[in-house]
Amino acid sequence: MKNISVLIAALLAGAGIAASASAQELTGTLKKIKDSGRVVMGTRDSSAPLAYTLGGGKYTGYHVELCEKIIDTIGKQIKAPAVKIEYTLVTSQNRIPLVENGTVDIECGSTTNNAARQKQAAFGLTTYVTEVRMAVKANSGIKSINQLNGKSVVTTTGTTSVQHMRKHERAAGVDFKEIYGKDHADSFLLLESGRADAFVMDDNILAGNIANAKNPKDFVITGEVLSVEPIAVMFRKDDPAFKRAVDDAIRGMMRSGELEKLYARWFQSPIPPRNSNLDMPMGATLKGLIANPNDRPMEDYAKK
């Protein structure tokens, strides 16, 4: 019922915009934030270190903190400094519908910006780049995808990584068995228990799971980079004023060096809850994006 009332509020806000003739006034999401004094942030519970929960309704992570800063900047801009952030848990399955129907104003998780999703939602400037690779047991001797003939490959249900494997599989004539874990922790357990020989996923998720394993030295991230995916914050489509505000806030942080500091804090230092260090220096692609920010979808990266 709450969702419906939010939706109705959004519709009424939309009607209000249509009625106001002044071009100076705030529109869309910005107006909604100013009028209600709050913003609903959609976030994830197990996408460490981008967005995850510490329990008790507390969310944290690189993208959560980034969004808090963005919202802070926007709040000052629209002269609503005391904007309250409401955190809402979203999943891979519901994040786009919730953004579309107005329940969530800005989604700060681990969403890949791709062409199909751009038809349904808008993305901010790319703030993280992930590479899809595989984790294997260190003593397995597997170093390339071509060695996976006849092996089992696990990936997590509801992610796009395995699509790249299929394309690669067909091109290289490798035949492997696809199995699916119900979440990242489950997929990693399948690798650990020997039911799977390789776990194919975004490198930051692999690193996060390995860092939390009983013996992190038993696992390595290896093999070809299957795809490069730009990860960004997501919000409603057709709201250019809000997009401009978000992008300007991100651009400001990129220019001031604040984004690099934020990156170092989440990827190269100990992070809660276990004080593990992922130790993942920033890749060349993201460095290039900080120099020349853009919001191009994944498909553009494949062409390079």
Residue 97 and residue 117 in contact, taking contact as beta carbons nearer than 8 Å: no
Q: What is the per-residue binding string for other proteins in 232-271, x denoting contact by CB under 8 A?
A: ----------------------------------------
Residue type, 191: L
| Count, residues in the chain | 304
Residue among 114, 108, 91 at smallest CA distance from 164: 114
Give how many residues touch other proteins by CB under 8 A: 30
* Residues of span 137-166 touching other proteins by CB under 8 A: 154, 157-160, 162-164, 166
Q: Does 167 bind other proteins (CB under 8 A)?
A: yes
Q: What is the per-residue binding string for other proteins in 186-225, x denoting contact by CB under 8 A?
A: x--xx--x--------------------------------
Task: Please state the closest distance from residue 94 (CB atom) to other proteins, in A.
Answer: 9
Binding-site member from 181, 208, 223, 297 for other proteins (CB under 8 A): 181
Residue 234 and residue 97 in contact, taking contact as beta carbons nearer than 8 Å: no
Four-CA torsion 178, 179, 185, 191, nearest 10 degrees: -80
Binding-site member from 73, 92, 140, 285 for other proteins (CB under 8 A): 92
Q: Between vectors from CA 113 to CA 110 and to CA 119, what angle results, nearest 5°?
A: 125
297 upstream amide cis, omega within 30 of 0: no
**Binding residues for other proteins, per CB under 8 A?**
92-93, 96-97, 100-101, 116-117, 120, 154, 157-160, 162-164, 166-167, 169-170, 178-182, 186, 189-190, 193
